[in-house]
Copies of this chain bind each other. A is one copy, B any other.
Amino acid sequence: MTLDDLDTPAVIIDLDLMEKNIRDMAAHCKKLGIPLRVHTKSHKIPEIAHRQIAAGAVGVACQKLGDAEVMVAAGIHDVLVPYNIVGRKKTERLTRLAKRARMTVAVDSEATARGISEAADNCRVNVLIELDTGGRRCGAQSPEAALDLAKKIAALPGLSFEGVMTYPSRMEAKDFLAKTVGLIRGAGIPVNTVSGGGTGHEHMAKDLGLTETRSGSYVWEGLSRIGNSDHLHESRCPLRVLVTVVSVPTPERAILDGGMKTFASYPPKPYGRIIEHPDAKIYGMSVEHGHVDTSGCSHRFSVGERLSVIPLHQEMCLNLHDECYGYRNGKIEIIWQVAGRGKVK
């Protein structure tokens, strides 16, 4: 089975390039001396996570409990869920997982910690305190607030206080992190983990005093984040969407058989890069159509022609699809189910 046998739209993955990205980040973190925890939200595919671990990662991070269940069921034994797990249904799912794998979660309130403790029956859940070091999402607002919460966590049954986490890693976080760790250790509570994150932020880890760095998007983007479509390139981006030209209504316009429900792309950013004809620009998307301005391109497009597009939002794109196709030298080598897709709970 080759790429030519696939109907479109189809998400395809250049396996050589994906493996290179996995190797490169593993080598990068090894050289930096910082353990790498891979974030599976970028792909939601257990076998890719296993390959990342085989390359040297210490474990995975999953943003939702449903993703964690998928990874544990696939035999992954060290999972961080950097997310406040709230509500009895979820805390029971978490503690069931904690009997099968080393589970760590982030909390930023006593209410969340207490809920997990109450559900922890014959198991231990490792807990990090999330710190809001400028990301303005979740997180304790000060080192003092974190110390107060650490004392409460340390006293709650079923929980192991493990340390702190933040996102993203930024040099501005240095004082906040150092002061928090100092205060907690000063209170006689060990801090084993200081977790930071963000593809492209690994080099700050040592300066920030991190014990691990969480990176995810490097699988699709290489060693640094891609902010706009100018940097999408087939030499670094293994995830593409195979599409068909379904209409060429004018010499300046071609219409693709994938739109927002295929690409998850949205205005006003550019939508992606057409590998075969980068001078043809995707200028708009409706729900199921991609609109291409071909005026700057000498190629004459025709109905039925197939193209490969690197989407701007690879993670969001893959999250729309039930399966994807890994290929090497044009041959389909793997059909992967996107096992964590839709696990929003």
- Measured CB to CB, the residues of A under 8 A from B are 7-10, 41, 63-64, 83-84, 86-87, 89-90, 108-109, 111-112, 115, 132, 136-141, 244-250, 253, 255, 257-258, 260-262, 264, 266, 268, 286-289, 291, 302-304, 315-316, 319-322, 342, 344-345
Quick one: closest B residue to A246, CB to CB? B84
Evaluate contact between B140 and A249: CB separation under 8 angstroms. yes
Most buried by B among A86, A264, A321: A86
Contact residues in B for A246 (Cβ distance below 8 Å): 83-84, 86, 112, 138
Q: Offer 17 A-B interface pairs, CB within 8 angstroms, sorted by A.
A: A9-B345, A84-B246, A84-B255, A86-B245, A86-B246, A109-B248, A112-B247, A112-B303, A115-B304, A137-B286, A138-B255, A261-B316, A261-B344, A262-B344, A266-B266, A268-B268, A287-B315
**Bound CA–CA A315/B246 (angstroms):** 23
State how many copies of this chain the complex holds. Answer: 2
**Bound CA–CA A255/B130 (angstroms):** 13
**Contact with A289, one of B109, B115, B138, B249 (Cβ below 8 angstroms):** B138
Contact residues in B for A291 (Cβ distance below 8 Å): 136-137
**Bound CA–CA A268/B266 (angstroms):** 10
**Bound CA–CA A197/B7 (angstroms):** 28
**Bound CA–CA A302/B247 (angstroms):** 52
